[in-house]
Chain A
């Protein structure tokens, strides 16, 4: 098991609602990346935060936003939820120029 934790484990929302997912990075890691894994697919990069600044973004609309806090934990916020947002959301932490370690994920279901 990695030291990366995510909350909540599962979440059910309805279309149009907003959701916040949380991630605590592994001790000593200053970088957090978020990925979306749809059913039967590989993870897709959403964005990465390094020392509280966004450090790269994938092909996701602006209603996907994030934050990183001074303790390097992070939040992923999704506004105006759509059915296609249903997925496993994975957080990964890393130290500079090292591999990413993933948390267990949050499964989001949008009805």
Chain B
């Protein structure tokens, strides 16, 4: 069965510092991996995806993610955090069916302090 783990409930970082939000996955076949962000009382907003190709994926708002097949990880990164990045971040995976059923992690709350 597919699964996604986000080991940190919360990540705290100071504005201007780099941030990393961790994600590991377990899927059958080639993984299709996604990051979404959720602001309070809002739906999920798509940030980026990995399907194939370059292991470093660039997405919206300066975010990027690094796919590591040997470690089955897909960590979200940003070189310089903004206070406005504070939100709930979800990693999701689709397996062989790719874009059919997405399995989500439990989410990581990012708190960026001024």
The reply to whether the CB of B90 lies closer than 8 angstroms to some CB of chain A is: yes
A-B contact count (CB 8 A): 63
The reply to whether the CB of A73 lies closer than 8 angstroms to some CB of chain B is: no
Inter-chain CA distance A37–B103, complex, in Å, is 12
Of the candidates A4, A33, A96, A102, which one forms a contact with B36 in the assembled complex, judged by CB atoms under 8 Å apart?
A102
Interface size range of chain B in the complex: 20 to 34
The reply to whether the CB of B45 lies closer than 8 angstroms to some CB of chain A is: yes
The reply to whether the CB of A84 lies closer than 8 angstroms to some CB of chain B is: no
* Stretch of B66-74, B77-85, B92-100 with 4 or more beta carbons under 8 angstroms from chain A: B92-100
Inter-chain CA distance A96–B98, complex, in Å, is 10
Q: Is the CB of B99 within 8 A of A98?
A: yes
Assuming the A-B contacts A99-B34, A102-B36, A103-B43, are A42 and B104 also in contact, with contact meaning beta carbons closer than 8 angstroms in the complex?
Answer: yes
Q: Is the CB of B43 within 8 A of A104?
A: yes
Q: Is the CB of A56 within 8 A of B97?
A: yes
The reply to whether the CB of B105 lies closer than 8 angstroms to some CB of chain A is: yes
Q: Is the CB of A100 within 8 A of B102?
A: yes
The reply to whether the CB of B107 lies closer than 8 angstroms to some CB of chain A is: yes
Least distance between B42 CB and chain A CB atoms (Å): 6
Q: List 16 A-B contacts (CB under 8 A).
A: A33-B100, A33-B102, A40-B106, A41-B106, A42-B92, A42-B104, A43-B104, A45-B102, A56-B101, A99-B99, A100-B46, A100-B102, A102-B44, A104-B41, A104-B42, A105-B43
Binding site for A on B (CB under 8 A): 4, 34, 36, 41-46, 49, 90, 92, 97-107
